[in-house]
Chain A
């Protein structure tokens, strides 16, 4: 029988401080960076937003030979000064973005795409390239989509919070959702560092991360609940550690199959899906990490700060009593030393 991480006895909770510092080191620069760009240019400029959110036009062009990007950039920016021209997956594929106000000011959303196609035809003749994809979105639609994306994220938090509160209890649910919020902030930090463009696909990826990461925490907490029900006299810290260790093989194995699928997508899925798959890959890794290192410490923090009344969830209060006993023991030890 092949086994990884079998019968481990890692003390995950003890490393809280180091982990906390690590998380802070990763998150703080991104939060500050996002904050600065928000103050200087509004929320829209904090991230690289796709045309579906800002309004504007994207034209994807496939040239028959290698495309001279500098030349194309010159041609297109002569028409729209703020247009962006980039390679898209291969040296033959070019994507042109005319975003935000440039495109919004012109009455008809399609005229920009037609104009871009027109200047390229003038410059390179119609036979030199084919237009693969065109997207033109009016500014009003963009604003609505942006609002909907934020609402979707908040609602999925609320809905899962309610479900977990019903299946487990309020505190476990809050701990799981807080760890989840950590995952989302970390994912946005990753998006900021790597400068991934936030498109509808990417938002779909972030929502999938929310679902996956919550499910991951549910498995650990499910085990915590089970151990508490057995009624053994152990401190809460030990219970949490035990639950994490016992579910560790599953956590790692599930993570590895999902990551395997994502690597397949990144390698072979094409340029359209790559940003989406990369956000998911990071989100799954961070979600797995936070199931182990973030969710349980948060639960411990909550239970210590707001102790439960007697009679409420027997197993938990017993574990907390043991926890306090152990804490006192620690202090005695310290004093003796």
Chain B
């Protein structure tokens, strides 16, 4: 009987260990509070990690954008980009973010609880290349305007736009702007009208007018898309003044009831870049609205001081990823290590994001979003509830079938099933697997499959009893003879589970993990636990008491 005792002790230990793995414990999570700072919070919960589809959140896959430039060593560049993205995401303040490489060409970012798509996308994707450029005060752009008009006429750029459908603007940013103005139809009509007018006079010069400072020009909001298209044309770009470039600003202003967007002509050479930046903090100032204050290191500060000293009285454009941030301030005197960027009417969240992007450094290669999946938190709750209900019904049905068909032996098999369910969940917790919606489905399904081993065993025992064997021999033979079939069926299921894990992504991998954890638990529960329960019954039963099976 020492054999039986040993078996029972093992089962109890396994159960206790499983329960210990599943017992709610304290977990430290990083979360961004109301004040915009990161806090370490302690939460008490069951240590089963819920997938994004269950708790809500966002899944982003990023890949190198090689449409504009050829990336020499994509593998290395991706490794560097991974570090930058990770730093940015860590500062972003989502609890338990995951940033990892997937395959040879992708970075996968998981942001639990995050649903603001455009913000997450911008933080991950912005290159954060900061430059300080002096605005042009030589009226260089005015001097080439006739030439630009001629180019636009030659290339028939103005008329070509008449055919462009309203829903496919040249740039995605344009599309978003269209939506923000919330009147797609009128916008498109206006653009078309302006185009016909433009063909008559100076197509290019009609669109812009002198702004309030040297090098600043204003463009009517409905002309922005047209001018953007002109500026993308290679012939137009070739006709721009040498050593100067034309950049859009982020500011817009109102005169009467007409919105204007600023565009700037600046020196191509930057007097300073963000490479020497050491710190950046968001702030609000009553005069300029939200701002980002930054600090430069000593080398950068020295260079900045000498460069700004040469340009006293000039206007300095602060350029981030090719966009002029706010209105260029005038340089009063030489600036040292401290400076600030005016956000131009954007809210504090935008300033926070910009500050953290600047702090975390710039991306070595441009990235683009290849895949984005986002799930609202209520949908996740809903999925959990539905999964729970389906699971309970499934378990109830299986219990009814087992006990209805096998009576007392069925009860033993249900006890084995309880052991199975607890250990499977413990396996998932122990290996820090993520529980996803397909994972829950897989778990429910595996309950139906876990009793398969019991069917194999019990039918065997019945056959042996039919042959007139005693209960004790029948049980022994039944368990022994069903072993081969049990191991083969479990291995085939585990093999397909492994393949599924290897080639699946995200939620489907969660399904595969549950399947494999279920296979291991199922073998333990049927071959060891249920058998032990039978041995226990045999040890208690009198001489030739019949077995209820």
Chain A residues with a Cβ under 8 A of chain B: 1-4, 60, 62, 79-80, 105-111, 113-115, 118-119, 121-122, 130-138, 140-141, 145, 148-149, 151-152, 155-156, 159-160, 163-164, 167, 200-201, 203-204, 207-208, 210-212, 214-216, 218-219, 222-223, 226, 246-247, 249-250, 253-254, 256-265, 267-270, 272-273, 276-277, 280
| B179 in contact with A118 (CB, 8 Å) | yes
* Choice from A130, A149, A156 contacting B378 with Cβ under 8 Å: A130
- B:477-508 near A, CB below 8 Å: 481, 484-485, 488-493, 495-500, 502-508
| A163 in contact with B493 (CB, 8 Å) | no
**Also in contact, A111 and B176, with CB within 8 A (given A80-B167, A160-B496, A207-B500):** yes
| A138 in contact with B117 (CB, 8 Å) | no
| A264 in contact with B390 (CB, 8 Å) | yes
Mark B446-489 against chain A: 1 for CB-CB distance below 8 A, else 0. Answer: 01110110011001001100000000000000000100110011
| A272 in contact with B176 (CB, 8 Å) | no
Q: Hey, which chain A residues are within 8 Å of B407, CB to CB?
A: 1-2
| B370 in contact with A137 (CB, 8 Å) | yes
Q: Hey, which chain A residues are within 8 Å of B521, CB to CB?
A: none
| A131 in contact with B376 (CB, 8 Å) | yes
| A268 in contact with B451 (CB, 8 Å) | no
One of B195-203, B304-312, B437-445 contacting the partner? B437-445
Q: Hey, which chain B residues are within 8 Å of A212, CB to CB?
A: 449, 493
A159 CA / B398 CA spacing, docked (Å): 31
* Choice from B404, B491, B511 contacting A163 with Cβ under 8 Å: B491
Q: Is B234 an interface residue (CB 8 A)?
A: no
**Also in contact, A156 and B172, with CB within 8 A (given A204-B504, A257-B401):** no
Q: Hey, which chain A residues are within 8 Å of B349, CB to CB?
A: none
Q: Hey, which chain B residues are within 8 Å of A145, CB to CB?
A: 505
A17 CA / B463 CA spacing, docked (Å): 32
A80 CA / B533 CA spacing, docked (Å): 63
| B455 in contact with A138 (CB, 8 Å) | no
Q: Is B374 an interface residue (CB 8 A)?
A: yes
A212 CA / B295 CA spacing, docked (Å): 63
Jot down 23 A-B pairs with beta carbons below 8 A, ordered by A. Answer: A108-B369, A114-B118, A115-B175, A133-B379, A136-B369, A136-B372, A138-B63, A141-B370, A141-B371, A148-B503, A152-B503, A152-B504, A156-B499, A159-B495, A164-B488, A200-B506, A211-B497, A218-B492, A246-B463, A254-B451, A261-B447, A265-B444, A280-B445
* Choice from B369, B401, B490, B496 contacting A253 with Cβ under 8 Å: B401
Given contacts A159-B498, A201-B438, 6 further A-B pairs with CB under 8 A are A60-B379, A149-B503, A200-B505, A211-B497, A257-B451, A276-B438
| B168 in contact with A106 (CB, 8 Å) | yes
**Also in contact, A134 and B493, with CB within 8 A (given A207-B500, A254-B452):** no
- Smallest CB gap from A269: residue in B: B390
Chain B residues with a Cβ under 8 A of chain A: 61, 63, 117-118, 121, 167-168, 171-172, 175-176, 179, 182, 184, 368-376, 378-379, 382-383, 386-387, 389-391, 393-394, 397-398, 401-402, 404-407, 437-438, 441-442, 444-445, 447-449, 451-452, 455-456, 459, 462-463, 481, 484-485, 488-493, 495-500, 502-508, 511-512, 515, 548-549
**Also in contact, A130 and B175, with CB within 8 A (given A149-B503, A265-B441):** no
| B488 in contact with A261 (CB, 8 Å) | no
The 3 A-B residue pairs with the shortest CB-CB distance, nearest first, are A211-B496, A118-B179, A215-B489
| B369 in contact with A156 (CB, 8 Å) | no
Q: Among B374, B481, B515, which residue has the most Cβ atoms of chain A within 10 A?
A: B374
A163 CA / B495 CA spacing, docked (Å): 9
Minimum distance in angstroms from B168 CB to a CB of chain A? 7
A222 CA / B459 CA spacing, docked (Å): 14
- Smallest CB gap from B59: residue in A: A135
| A250 in contact with B118 (CB, 8 Å) | no
Q: Hey, which chain A residues are within 8 Å of B500, CB to CB?
A: 152, 156, 204, 207-208
Minimum distance in angstroms from A204 CB to a CB of chain B? 5
| A261 in contact with B495 (CB, 8 Å) | no
| B397 in contact with A264 (CB, 8 Å) | yes
A254 CA / B456 CA spacing, docked (Å): 9
A212 CA / B481 CA spacing, docked (Å): 21
| A208 in contact with B445 (CB, 8 Å) | yes
Minimum distance in angstroms from A71 CB to a CB of chain B? 17
A148 CA / B496 CA spacing, docked (Å): 14
| B449 in contact with A272 (CB, 8 Å) | no
A118 CA / B244 CA spacing, docked (Å): 37
Q: Hey, which chain B residues are within 8 Å of A257, CB to CB?
A: 397-398, 401-402, 447-449, 451-452
- Smallest CB gap from B491: residue in A: A163
A148 CA / B106 CA spacing, docked (Å): 15
- Smallest CB gap from B499: residue in A: A156
| A264 in contact with B438 (CB, 8 Å) | no
A258 CA / B448 CA spacing, docked (Å): 4
Minimum distance in angstroms from A97 CB to a CB of chain B? 14
A222 CA / B379 CA spacing, docked (Å): 45
| A110 in contact with B121 (CB, 8 Å) | yes
A108 CA / B496 CA spacing, docked (Å): 36
- Smallest CB gap from A216: residue in B: B489
Q: Hey, which chain B residues are within 8 Å of A148, CB to CB?
A: 503, 505
A276 CA / B508 CA spacing, docked (Å): 12
Minimum distance in angstroms from A276 CB to a CB of chain B? 7
| A204 in contact with B492 (CB, 8 Å) | no
Q: Hey, which chain A residues are within 8 Å of B176, CB to CB?
A: 111, 114
Minimum distance in angstroms from B96 CB to a CB of chain A? 20
Minimum distance in angstroms from A8 CB to a CB of chain B? 13
**Also in contact, A134 and B374, with CB within 8 A (given A261-B397, A277-B441):** yes
A269 CA / B63 CA spacing, docked (Å): 34
- Smallest CB gap from A142: residue in B: B371
| A132 in contact with B61 (CB, 8 Å) | no
**Also in contact, A261 and B371, with CB within 8 A (given A200-B507, A214-B492):** no
